[in-house]
Structure 1
Amino acid sequence: MAETPDNIYHVFDRMLPRADREAALKQRSHVFWLFGLSGSGKSTLALALERELFKAGRFAQVLDGDNIRSGLNRDLGFSDADRSENIRRIAEVAKLFAQAGVVTITSFICPKEELRALARETIGADDFSDIYVKASYERCQERDPKGLYKKVQAGQVKQFTGKDSGFEEPTAPALIIDTENETIEQSVQRLLDYVLPRVEA
C-alpha cells in the first residue's frame, strides 16, 4: 500500500549541505535546460557541452529525453498528461542532481510554455536556465537523424511535435542557440561561454 503524505518524514535538513558538495567539486551546480524540436541539435549540444565541461574540470551529467523515456519514464506515452508527468519527473531528478552539486544538462523537446514553467518552478528559478535550441521544422526534417520524420510522413508516428502536436516558441528564454544558422562549433562555443561563468566556484 502506498504511503500517504502524512506518513512521509523528510530528512533534507539532516543531509550534507549542498554548499559542502559544491566546495568538494570546486564548482557551482546549475540546471541548463535545453529544449527544442526533434532534430534541432539538443542532444548533440548537450553531449558536447558535457565533454567541454569535463575538460575544464567540471563535473556534469546529461539527462537526455530518449534515455529517460527508455528507463525511468518508459511507462509514459505522449498525451498531454504524460508529457507533463515526463517533465515533472525529470525536473525532480535534475533538482536532486543540482542539490548534489552537479552541473546538470537536460535535453528534452518540452514543447509547451507551461511545461517549461513547471520545470523552472520545480527546480527553482535561481538554479534554472532555459536554453532554446532553435531550428525550423523543415530543417529538422531535412536532418532527420533518427528517421522519425520519415516515419511521420509514412503515418507511423502519432502526436509528433511540430506536426500533430504543437510546439510553442519561448517568449523569453535565458539563451537561444540557433543551430539553423550557426555551425556546431559556433553553437557549442556560445553555449560554453554562457555556462562556464555560471558554474565557476
Structure 2
Amino acid sequence: MKSNSQDAANIVWHPQLVTKKARNQSNGHKSMMIWFTGLSGSGKSTIANALQSELFKRGIQVYVLDGDNLRHGINANLSFSMEDRKENIRRTAEVGKLFVDAGLVVLAALISPVEEERQRARSRFAEDEFLEVYVSCTLQECEKRDPKGLYKKARKGEIPQFTGIHQPYEEPKNPDICIDTTDRTVEQSMQIILPIILEKIAWKEGKQ
C-alpha cells in the first residue's frame, strides 16, 4: 500500500488561467483573509456579519466563514477535542485560501483558541493577505451575555471541553487588530475595523 507521502508526490498542481491578480483587478479590490478570534460570546460572528454587510454595500466581494456554520457541513465530523479543533482551523484556513484565490474578502469567525494553529493558518496566506483580529472580552462578560446558552450548559457539565471553562484560550501574542468588546458596541467595533480593511484591500470610495 502506498503511503500518503507517496500519493502526494504523484499529485500535480494545475495552475488556473484566470489568476487571483486578474480577479482582483476585475473586482476593483484586493482579496484577503480577516481572521476573528476570541471567546464564545465576545462578538466575533456579530462583528464579522456587520462588516460583511458594510463591505457588500460598497460592491466588495465578501463572504463570512462562521465556525458554527462550518460545523454543519465541511467540519461536521469534528469534535471539540484539541486535535479536532486544530483540524477545524486547518480546514477553515484552506477553504478561506480558496476564497481569497477566487478574489473574495473573507471574514473567518472562529474561537480558534490555540496560538500555534492560528499562526499555521496565517502561513497559508501571503503576508499582506492575512489580518488577525483579536476580539477581546472578559470571560465574565462573555458568560453574562451567553447568547447561545452555552456557558450555562458548560457550567452544568452538559458541554465538555468548552473553551474558557474546561479548555484554555491562548490570547494572540501579536494580533494585527485588538478590539475590546467588553464595553464597546458592535457598531463601534465595526467602525474601528472597517477603515483598516478598506485600506488593506486598496478600496476607493465611489468605485462602483
TM-score by length of 1: 0.95
Aligned pair partner of 1:17 in 19, 39, 43: 19
Alignment: residue pair count = 200
Are 1:8 and 2:11 matched, yes or no? yes
Is the partner of 1:122 in helix, strand or coil? Answer: coil
The answer to whether the 8 Å contact 1:32/1:105 transfers is yes
1: CA distance, partners of 2:109 / 2:130: 13
CA distance in 1, matches of 2:25, 2:200: 15
Residue 86 of structure 1 pairs with residue 94 of structure 2: no
Q: 2:194 is matched with which residue? A: 192
Q: Is the Cα–Cα contact under 8 Å of residues 92 and 123 in structure 1 kept in the other structure?
A: no
Q: Distance in 2 between matches of 1:34 and 1:152?
A: 23
Secondary structure of the equivalent of 2:194? helix
**Following the alignment from structure 2 to structure 1, what is the Cα–Cα distance between the partners of residues 135 and 175?**
10
Residue 127 (structure 2) aligns with: 125
| Secondary structure of 1:90 counterpart | helix
More helix by share: 1
Q: Shift of the alpha carbon at 1:146?
A: 0.6
What is aligned with 1:151? 153
Give me the whole-angstrom Cα distance separating, in 2, the residues matched to 1:120 and 1:174: 11
Any conservation in 2 of the 1:152–1:160 contact (CA below 8 Å)?
Answer: yes
Deviations 1:99-158 (A, max 9, x none): 111000000001111011111112233211100011011100000011101101111000
Report the CA distance between 1:194 and its aligned residue: 1.4
- Give the stretch that moved more between structures: 35-44 or 181-190: 181-190
2:33 aligns with 31
Identity %: 46
CA distance in 1: counterparts of 2:24 and 2:178, whole angstroms: 27
Q: Which amino acid aligns with 2:129?
A: D
Secondary structure of residue in 1 paired with 2:79:
coil
- The CA deviation at 1:196 is 0.9
Q: Residue deviations 1:24-60, cap 9 Å, x none?
A: 1111001000010000000100000000001122110
Give the unaligned 5+ runs of structure 2.
204-208
- SS of equivalent to 1:27: coil
- In the alignment, the residues of structure 1 paired with residue 186 and residue 18 of structure 2 have an alpha-carbon distance, to the nearest angstrom, of 39
Task: Give, in angstroms, the shift of residue 182 of structure 1.
Answer: 1.3
Aligned residue in 1 for 2:206: none
Distance 1:140 1:15 in 2: 47
3-state SS in 1 of match to 2:124: helix
Structure 1 runs not aligned, ≥5 long:
none
